[in-house]
């Protein structure tokens, strides 16, 4: 291992398996910290933020790595440590055993440096405003939305555009090469139309649209393109921010992450994916089915190359059999035509613009959208909570959407969260039970995800973290 002391974030580049030591000053995204906040960052014990920051900062430094196994990353860099030095002119971060790939010719890569301090900014703000100061009473739906707004505003995600232009792109990290190339083509067409991109910030379908949009923006001489990544602490180590992300925000939990997506989106494109993508689809459709949201325009397009057609037909059938035809009417499926996707999305965003202009609504945050509290309550996947999910056929559609989302969310947790994976190794797979009809539908979708390698990157060695019972 190389040992280099750095004052401005420099180091010596080495092979990806090597590590370096470094000292880094903030890159313009971190406000001055109080002594109390700085001390909380240094605390290793209960109430401290050190363990969370260590995992999240390692994920950022490991940006671009082809892995979705958080435990493997932590094991590979088990000697990695983060320290903090509070000085009169600000906070300096010390790194020990950091991935050498984060440095080039003696300097930390600029984008990685910015994302590193975005992690620090968001975790400090969330801890102080939501926990310590008790600024938001998270027992009410309105206050949860208010908290989401303030986290996004503090991260400088909310801007005042001349017109709506932000497309949220969802899709899996474990997708085929043809599917990945297709996401780039769609991103390119969006970029040509001066549309910006927001994703879950990881690899695969989260990276491809951003990569394509950079070329489209470059051709249109757009120099301020936005490539927003929204993640949460539980999965950031498994889905490290891809190198194109230039605005990163870490929400406190999955539910606030999902709400952030739909509050800032002017349109949503869904690419092929797995359980995480299914969770996002069910979350959005469950919200759009609320009576107060039925007249609200929000273009939603599911798309992929010809080889992905069967995937979307299966998703469409699953939605039809669970949420009904009204849910199907809220999206369009386009196969193998990136230009048509971008053109239809642009037209849909114009409808959003006219609607918000007519109703005097903000362009940068959708306050008008009603999100039921059931969709906002954090769901922690445990063996007990997964088995307790009500999946009976006679549930109201709204409640069924909530519960199906929780099933997929729990499987995501079992696939990528290091703490949940450890519990499954100890206690066995989650058990999912419900009516025979719903279990058959669910088992069919999940079996197809496994068959086509949509659960994890190392799909050949994937062992399901769940059992479907009836």
pLDDT in tens, 368-382: 999 999 999 999 999
**CATH number of the domain residue 87 falls in:** 3.30.1850.10
User: Which tens digit of pLDDT belongs to each residue from 414-460?
Assistant: 988 888 988 999 999 999 999 999 999 999 999 988 888 888 766 66
Domain identity same for 247 and 338: yes
The per-residue pLDDT for 5 is 44
CA dihedral 15→18→23→24, nearest 10 degrees, is 50
Q: Do residues 92 and 178 share a domain? A: no
Between CA 133 and CA 5 the distance in angstroms is 36
Confidence of residue 12 (pLDDT cuts 50, 70, 90): very low
Query: Can you read off the two tokens belonging to residue 52?
Result: 């969370």
| Residue 166 maps to a domain | yes
Owning domain of residue 126: 19-135
Listed in sequence order, the DSSP H helices in 242-304 are 254-264, 275-288
> What is the model's pLDDT at position 189?
98
353 vs 11: which has the higher pLDDT: 353
- If asked whether residues 98 and 237 sit together in one domain, one would say no
pLDDT single digits (tens) 45-80:
445 677 788 888 888 888 766 655 666 777 788 888
Q: Are residues 339 and 293 in the same domain?
A: yes
- Average confidence score pLDDT of the chain: 86
Q: Count up the domains in the chain and report the number.
A: 3
| Same-domain pairing of 280 and 329 | yes
* pLDDT tens-digit readout, 287-312: 999 999 989 999 999 999 999 999 99
Report pLDDT digits (tens) over 260-271. 999 999 999 999
Edge to edge, the sheet with strand 166-170 lists 247-250, 227-231, 196-199, 166-170, 267-270, 300-304, 332-335
Confidence of residue 19 (pLDDT cuts 50, 70, 90): confident
Q: Is residue 2 in a domain?
A: no
Residues 149/263, Cβ–Cβ less than 8 Å:
yes
CATH number at 229 reads: 3.40.50.450
Question: Are residues 194 and 310 located together in one domain of the fold?
Answer: yes
Q: Give a yes or no: residue 38 inside a domain.
A: yes
User: What's the token pair of residue 114?
Assistant: 């910015």
Higher pLDDT, 202 or 88: 202
> pLDDT tens-digit profile of 231-246?
988 788 677 888 899 9
Same domain, 113 and 244: no
Among residues 359, 386, 401, the one where a domain terminates is 359
| Residue 90 pLDDT grade (very low, low, confident, very high; cuts 50, 70, 90) | low
**Coil, strand or helix at 406:** helix
Of 336, 359, 382, which marks where a domain is finished?
Answer: 359
Over the range 397-435, which residues count as b (16 or more CB within 10 Å of their CB) and which as e? ebebbbbbbbbbbbbbbbbbbbebbebbeeeebbebbbe
Q: Are residues 321 and 208 in the same domain?
A: yes
* Adjacent-strand bridge partners of 99: 19
Residues 268 and 388 in one domain: no
Q: What DSSP element (H or E) covers 318?
A: helix 309-322
Residue 440 lies in a domain: yes
Closest CA to 344 of 405, 269, 236, 275: 269
Domain boundary, last residue among 359, 383, 411: 359
**What percentage of the chain exceeds 70 in pLDDT?**
86
Is pLDDT at 117 greater than 70 in this prediction? yes
**Range scoring the smallest mean pLDDT among 50-54, 130-134, 178-182, 400-404:** 130-134
pLDDT at 108 over 60: yes
Residue 152 domain-assigned (yes or no): no
346 with 244, same domain? yes
Asked whether residue 429 falls in the same domain as residue 345, the answer is: no
Q: Please check the confidence at residue 8 and state whether its pLDDT lies above 50.
A: no
* Percent over 90 (pLDDT), the chain: 55
| C-beta of residue 272 within 8 angstroms of C-beta of residue 306 | no
Mean pLDDT across the stretch 105-127?
84
Please give the pLDDT value at position 223. 93
Do 180 and 315 fall into the same domain? Answer: yes
Give the rounded distance of the alpha carbon of 283 from its chain centre: 13
| Range of lowest pLDDT (50-64, 76-90, 139-153) | 76-90
- What sign has the CA pseudo-torsion 245, 251, 254, 257? negative
Q: What is the pLDDT of residue 128?
A: 74
Using the predicted structure, report yes or no on whether residue 162 has a pLDDT greater than 90.
Answer: no
């Amino acid at each position: 291992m190389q040992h280099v002391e750095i004052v401005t974030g420099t180091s010596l580049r080495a092979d990806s398996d090597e590590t370096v030591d470094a000292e880094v000053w903030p890159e313009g995204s971190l406000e001055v910290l109080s002594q109390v906040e700085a001390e909380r960052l240094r605390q290793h014990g209960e109430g401290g933020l050190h363990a969370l920051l260590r995992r999240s900062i390692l994920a950022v430094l490991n940006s671009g790595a082809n892995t979705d196994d958080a435990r493997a990353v932590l094991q590979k860099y088990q000697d990695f440590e983060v320290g903090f030095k509070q000085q009169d002119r600000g906070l300096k971060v010390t790194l020990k055993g950091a991935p050498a790939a984060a440095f080039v010719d003696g300097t930390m890569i600029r984008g990685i440096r910015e994302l590193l301090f975005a992690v620090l900014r968001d975790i400090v703000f969330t801890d102080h405003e939501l926990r310590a100061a008790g600024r938001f009473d998270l027992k009410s739906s309105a206050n949860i939305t208010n908290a989401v707004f303030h986290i996004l505003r503090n991260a400088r995600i909310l801007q005042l555009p001349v017109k709506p232009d932000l497309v949220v792109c969802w899709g899996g990290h474990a997708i085929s090469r043809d599917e990945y190339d297709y996401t780039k083509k769609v991103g390119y067409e969006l970029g040509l139309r001066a549309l910006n991109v927001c994703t879950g910030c990881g690899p695969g379908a989260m990276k491809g649209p951003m990569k394509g949009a950079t070329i489209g923006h470059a051709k249109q001489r757009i120099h301020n393109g936005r490539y927003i990544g929204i993640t949460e602490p539980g999965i950031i180590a498994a889905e490290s921010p891809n190198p194109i992300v230039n605005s990163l925000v870490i929400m406190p939990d999955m539910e606030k992450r999902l709400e952030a997506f739909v509050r800032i989106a002017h349109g949503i494109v869904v690419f092929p994916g797995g359980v995480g993508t299914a969770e996002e689809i069910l979350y959005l459709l469950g919200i759009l089915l609320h009576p107060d949201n039925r007249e609200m325009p929000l273009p939603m397009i599911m798309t992929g190359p010809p080889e992905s057609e069967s995937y979307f037909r299966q998703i469409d059938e699953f939605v039809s059999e669970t949420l009904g035809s009204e849910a199907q009417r809220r999206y369009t499926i386009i196969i193998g035509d990136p230009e048509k996707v971008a053109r239809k999305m642009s037209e849909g965003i114009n409808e959003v613009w006219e609607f918000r202009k007519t109703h005097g609504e903000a362009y940068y945050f959708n306050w008008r959208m009603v999100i039921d509290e059931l969709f906002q309550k954090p769901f922690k996947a445990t063996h007990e909570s997964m088995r307790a999910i009500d999946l009976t056929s006679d549930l109201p559609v709204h409640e069924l959407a909530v519960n199906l989302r929780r099933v997929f969310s729990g499987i995501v947790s079992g696939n990528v969260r290091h703490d949940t994976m450890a519990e499954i190794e100890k206690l066995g797979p989650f058990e999912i039970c419900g009516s025979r009809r719903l279990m058959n539908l669910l088992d069919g979708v999940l079996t197809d995800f496994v068959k086509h390698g949509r659960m994890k990157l190392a799909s050949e060695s994937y062992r399901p973290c769940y059992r479907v019972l009836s």
